Chain A
Amino acid sequence: MSLTKQEYTTLEKKIGRTPNKLELQIVAAEWSEHCSYKSSKKHLRILPREGARVISGKGYDSGVLDVGDGYVVTIHIESHNHPSAVEPYGGAATGVGGVIRDILSMGTRPIAILDGLRFGDIEKDSHARWLFKNAVKGIADYGNCLGIPTVGGEIEFDKCFTNYALVDVAAIGFGRKERLIKNKVDKDDFVILIGGATGRDGIGGSQFASDTLKSENRSAVQIPDPFIEKLVIEAILEARNQNCIKAMKDLGGGGLSCAISETADALSVGIELDVARVHKREPGMSPSEIMVSESQERMLLITDRQKLSVLKKICEKFRVPYSVIGKVKDDKMMQVKVETNTIANLACNIVANAPLLDREVSEPEYIKKMKKVKKPNTPRNLSKILLKMLENPNIASKIWAYGQYDHEVGIRTVIKPGQDASVLRLDNGKFLSVKIDGNSKHCYINPRDGAVGCFEEACRNVVCTGATPIGMVDHLQFGNPEDPEIFWTFRQSLEGLTEFAKYFEIPCVGGKVSFYNETNNGPIKPTPLIGVLGLIEKNSPFVQKVANGDLLFIIGKTKDELGGSEYYEYIHHIVGGVCPVVDLKISKTNMQVVLEIIKEGWANCAHDCSKGGLAIGICEICINYETGCMVTMDKIQQEKLRSDETLFSESHSRYLLAVSPKNVKKVVDLLDARNVLYGIAGKFIGLRIIFKKNAKTVADLRVDKAREKWLNSVGQLVKHG
Chain B
Amino acid sequence: MKVGVVVFPGSNCDRDMQHVLSDVFKLKTEMLWHEEGIPKNLDAIILPGGFSYGDRLRAGVIAAHSPAISGIKKMAEKGMPILGVCNGFQILVEAGLLPGALLKNTSLSFMCKWTEIIVKNNKTPFTNKLKINQRIPIPIANGEGRYYADKETLRTLKKNKQIVFTYCQEINGSSLNIAGICNKEGNVVGMMPHPERAAEPVINPIDSKPASMIFQSLLKSLGVAQ
Contact = CB atoms under 8 A, between A and B. Distances in A.
A414 B202 contact: yes
Contact of B13 (A137, A226, A409, A412): A409
Interface stretch (B65-73, B104-112, B160-168): B104-112
Contacts of A406: 110, 112, 141
Nearest to A150: B112
A405 interface: yes
Contacts of B205: 416
Interface string B188-202: 000000101100101
Nearest to A431: B202
Nearest to B109: A404
B125 to A, nearest CB: 23
Contacts of A366: none
Most chain A CB inside 10 Å of its own CB: which residue of B19, B113, B196, B200: B113
A147 B54 contact: no
A101 interface: no
Interface stretch (A138-146, A274-282, A337-345, A512-520): A138-146
B159 interface: no
B54 A408 contact: no
Interface string B110-149: 1111000000000000000000000000010101000000
Given A411-B16, A411-B196, A145 B112 contact: no
Nearest to A425: B202
Interface string B3-38: 000000110110010011000000000000101000
B202 A230 contact: no
B96 to A, nearest CB: 24
Contact of A408 (B35, B143, B194, B202): B194
B56 interface: yes
Contact of B12 (A230, A317, A414, A541): A230
Contact of A403 (B10, B113, B143): B113
Contacts of B35: 317
A319 interface: yes
Interface in B147-185: none
Contacts of B200: 411
Interface string A397-408: 000001111111
A413 B203 CA distance: 6
Contacts of A71: none
Interface residues of B, number: 31
A417 to B, nearest CB: 9
B54 A227 contact: yes
Contacts of B89: none
Contacts of B139: 408
A540 B35 CA distance: 40
A231 B109 CA distance: 24
B201 to A, nearest CB: 10
Nearest to B54: A227
A51 interface: no
A141 B10 CA distance: 13
A8 interface: no
Contacts of A416: 205
Per CB-CB distance, the 9 closest pairs between chain A and chain B, nearest first, are A147-B12, A227-B54, A145-B51, A406-B141, A411-B16, A408-B197, A406-B112, A404-B110, A408-B139
15 contacts: A141-B110, A144-B51, A144-B141, A144-B143, A145-B51, A227-B9, A403-B113, A405-B110, A408-B112, A408-B141, A408-B203, A409-B141, A411-B19, A414-B203, A425-B202
Given A140-B110, A145-B12, 6 more contacts: A147-B13, A230-B51, A411-B16, A411-B203, A414-B202, A414-B203
Interface of A: 137, 140-141, 144-147, 225-227, 230-231, 317-319, 402-414, 416, 425, 540-541
